[in-house]
């Protein structure tokens, strides 16, 4: 059976074929193209672009850097129902801490009220926020996460540029 080249799901019928690759839908086809392009980019190009982001302005508050990937963690529950997620953003440390503190507050207030996942996940998500607030990535150079994001943004841009030419 064919499987999606982007997400790996089995394709039972339909799907989308691009070149010699199969995808389950347009979104996966798009992601697949970006990932394939991302793999072709040279480490040197990615590093230069990541450094530009790192020493540039914060996209959220236009404040000074260093800019890096900041992750905040949230959990909320409603009785038997608990949802948790981690959100990444490219921003300065102040903006990162703002999001982490906001998600921490939401988790403390709304995380507990589900059984059993609310009780289990709330301390984890709260701990992750505290950990990420205290331990920022090295301010002198882009983190591996930023390098990865920079690679994907570059890949997306180069595909977009080709689309505009055609
Ligand atoms: Zn897929
Ligand atoms: Zn900022």
Instruction: Summarize pLDDT for 24-82 with one digit per residue, the tens.
Output: 999 999 899 899 999 999 999 999 999 999 999 999 999 998 999 999 999 999 988 99
Ligand closest in space to the Cα of 57? 2
Average pLDDT of the chain is 93
CA–centroid distance, residue 19 to ligand 1 (Å): 15
Report residue 164's pLDDT band, with 50, 70 and 90 as the boundaries. Answer: low
Residue 163 lies in a domain: no
CA–centroid distance, residue 55 to ligand 2 (Å): 12
Number of structural domains in the chain: 2
Q: How many CB atoms lie within 10 A of CB 48?
A: 12
CA–CA separation, 67 and 91 (whole Å): 5
Each residue of 93-116: pLDDT tens digit? 999 999 999 999 999 999 999 999
Q: Is 71 helix (H, G, I), strand (E, B) or coil?
A: strand
- The pTM score is 0.83
Listed residues: CB within 5 A of ion ligand 1? 4, 6-7, 9, 24, 28
Q: Which domain holds residue 21?
A: 1-40
Residue 88 lies in a domain: yes
CA–CA separation, 29 and 62 (whole Å): 34
CA–centroid distance, residue 138 to ligand 1 (Å): 35
| Cβ atoms of 110 and 77 closer than 8 Å | yes
On whether both 74 and 120 belong to a single domain, the answer is yes
Q: pLDDT at position 19, please?
A: 84
Among 145, 152, 139, 149, smallest CA distance to 67 is for 139
Q: pLDDT at position 85, please?
A: 96
On whether both 35 and 86 belong to a single domain, the answer is no
CA–CA separation, 162 and 126 (whole Å): 43
Q: pLDDT at position 47, please?
A: 98
């Amino acid at each position: 059976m064919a499987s999606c080249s982007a997400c790996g799901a089995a394709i039972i019928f339909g799907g989308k074929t691009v070149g010699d690759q199969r995808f389950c839908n347009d979104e996966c086809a798009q992601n697949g193209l970006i990932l394939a392009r991302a793999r072709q980019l040279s480490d040197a190009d990615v590093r230069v672009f990541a450094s530009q982001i790192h020493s540039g302005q914060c996209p959220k508050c236009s404040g000074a850097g260093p800019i890096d990937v900041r992750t905040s963690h949230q959990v909320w529950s409603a009785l038997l129902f608990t949802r948790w997620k981690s959100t990444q953003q490219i921003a300065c440390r102040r903006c990162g801490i703002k999001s982490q503190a906001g998600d921490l507050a939401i988790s403390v207030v709304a995380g507990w009220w589900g059984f059993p996942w609310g009780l289990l996940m709330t301390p984890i998500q709260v701990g992750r926020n505290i950990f990420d607030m205290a331990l920022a990535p090295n301010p002198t150079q882009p983190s591996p996460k930023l390098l990865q994001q920079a690679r994907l943004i570059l890949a997306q841009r180069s595909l977009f540029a080709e689309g505009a030419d055609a």
